[in-house]
Structure 1
């Protein structure tokens, strides 16, 4: 494992002098971290990954790994393993030969190569399939081969570009658990690109949310979910209710149609424009006389363990996730008294404020 972090400093990538695909990205990833790059298509996350791998060159900026600049180092000399969504396996080679290809290119001896390949295949649970060809494997097994190939030469860093996107839901969830197990067992630094917020939330030590070529926030999953830094992060990570409001000072905020609310996690001077984030699961069905307002239910979506009530409160759209037992019989047209705590509301200062 490298003794130094991976650092990106003011990295920019432009194509034909157009709007930057990556716009002044700086971050530091510590040895052994599992960091996810999360964002919509075209947000810059994959381009950033490809620059770290060496498949694309930054227009400007600096990338350093294990204490050395790698901007001009060719991909094969960076000691970085890469796992792609399409697996990129050689169809004419056996599983063992696919995994050992990088070792052969590095001139590793036959005995040592066989030992390392065997250990890598055991790590991903494919020790009994070494002689098979990729076409004889399931999608999940092929993805494990690609992962073993990235692990076999003991890289300083493993990059994973939406590696589970082609798998079905059950296999994707199983592979998430396996990837996290391997990460914890080996302690290798991993960067995982995804547009799937659930993957990022369940697997990562930290998440970097990309938007329009920039990182809007990098934080631990729970911190990002409960205290997103921007409106975009709040809307992209998790279900949400976002309310435009104006600060009245002393932790009080005015929401048109709702009146004045108290929010517990940030107090701003009067007159500041903000967004108030209230997650659907933070809202509770109120006891008689304790309601902050009444939801006019327009739709009720049953998830089995909970029901998502969708409607309006004070003329504004609102989503409320209610545990199953409390939601029995809930349907469109009903009125639902609601309550929440001031500390459940997160205040996001508006960019233009």
Structure 2
């Protein structure tokens, strides 16, 4: 399977000359990487994907696939595979013919089409399904047919536009595992658009977080989750407590919950900052711990394996996740004491 790097340089897209659907988007995707575009609706992630595919043209900027500029090439000359949310299968064609369709458009001989169609279906675990039609398959199977069709002509890169959005939770989770397996086995470059944080965190080598047409941050799932660079990324990814603070120097901050210590930072004294404290980093404190803080419990939500506790530290609204094994300690409580480590506080620059 081919794999090419993808480069976007200062790519802009405006439909009306005023509002930017994509605003100075630049990124480098290495050959064989799995990169997700993550963001809310209208953030520019799908517009950017459509420009890579060739279905939209940039207002300005450059897109390169490997060493080749593809800005002005039509979609069929870019050697890019595309998987859509709605599968886009031909209902009257057999599965084999659906998968072989890109080869038919390229004038590949019948024996070669049949061979490569069988191989592509085997890669997605659908060998033996060649003679069926789409209506005889489940949603997950149809999505795998769409993926096989994107793989069959050995593209340089595969683009996936929210391909699991129409599937139920269990099937979606199964397909996440399958997509990661296929990516690992084939080594093809994949760019995946989603608004689902779990999908992006589960499958991606790196995640590009979009907001209002711009990439706010690109990094590994761990970097995005534990070291967000902006308040938007911190609040959009996962559950978060964002605490406004004033720097006292030496990694100490004045906040609504009192003085808080964080990992060493270069924050100047009296400068403003946002502190990120993930709910799972907060722990119930033992009576002997000197740094414990009183926590007033307002609401608890039982998820089985963990308890979401919503309440206040001083005047600061706080969310805390308690593992199921420790949740019993809070039964019937209206108050407890909590603690965390200074290294669990992330200072958002």
**CA-CA distance at 1:249 after TM superposition:** 1.3
User: Residue 231 of structure 1 aligns with which residue?
Assistant: 231
Paired residues of 2:4 and 2:156 also in contact (CA < 8 A): no
- Cross-structure match for 2:41: 41
Deviation at 1:330, TM superposition (A): 2.7
Report how far residue 272 of structure 1 moved.
1.4
1:251 aligns with 2:251: yes
Normalising to structure 1: TM-score of the pair?
0.96
CA distance in 2, matches of 1:150, 1:38: 22
Q: Give the whole-Å Cα distance in 2 for the aligned partners of 1:4 and 1:114.
A: 26
Structure 1 SS opposite 2:132: coil
> CA 1:180 to 1:265, structure 2 compared with 1: closer, same or farther past 3 Å?
farther
Alpha-carbon distance in 2 for matches of 1:129, 1:59 = 43
Note the 1:1-353 alignment, pairs <5 A: 5-256=5-256, 258-290=257-289, 291-328=291-328, 330-331=330-331, 334-349=334-349
What secondary structure, in the 3-state scheme, does the structure 2 residue paired with 1:328 have? helix
Q: Deviations over 1:36-76 (max 9, x none)?
A: 00000000000000000000000000000020110011101
CA drift of 1:265 comes to 4.6
User: Does structure 2 retain, via aligned residues, the 8 Å contact 1:300–1:331?
Assistant: no
Post-superposition offset of 1:328: 1.0
Q: Tell whether the 8 Å contact from 2:5 to 2:32 is kept in structure 1 after alignment.
A: no
Indicate conservation of the 8 Å contact 1:99/1:145, yes or no: yes
Moved over 3 A (4+): 1-4
Give the Cα–Cα distance (whole angstroms) in 2 for the partners of residues 294 and 42 of structure 1.
Answer: 41
Gaps of 5+ in 1: none
Q: Which stretch of structure 1 is more off in the superposition, 261-270 or 203-212?
A: 261-270
Separation in structure 2 between the aligned mates of residue 131 and residue 281 of structure 1, nearest angstrom: 50
Number of aligned residues: 348
CA distance in 1, matches of 2:135, 2:336: 55
Q: Distance in 2 between matches of 1:34 and 1:318?
A: 34
Aligned to 1:269, what secondary structure does the other structure show? coil
Output the aligned Cα RMSD. 1.2
What is the rounded CA distance, in whole Å, between the counterparts of 1:289 and 1:299 in structure 2? Answer: 26
CA drift at 1:332: 6.7
Deviation at 1:162, TM superposition (A): 0.2
Shift of residue 18, structure 1, vs aligned partner: 2.4
- SS of structure 1 residue aligned to 2:40: coil
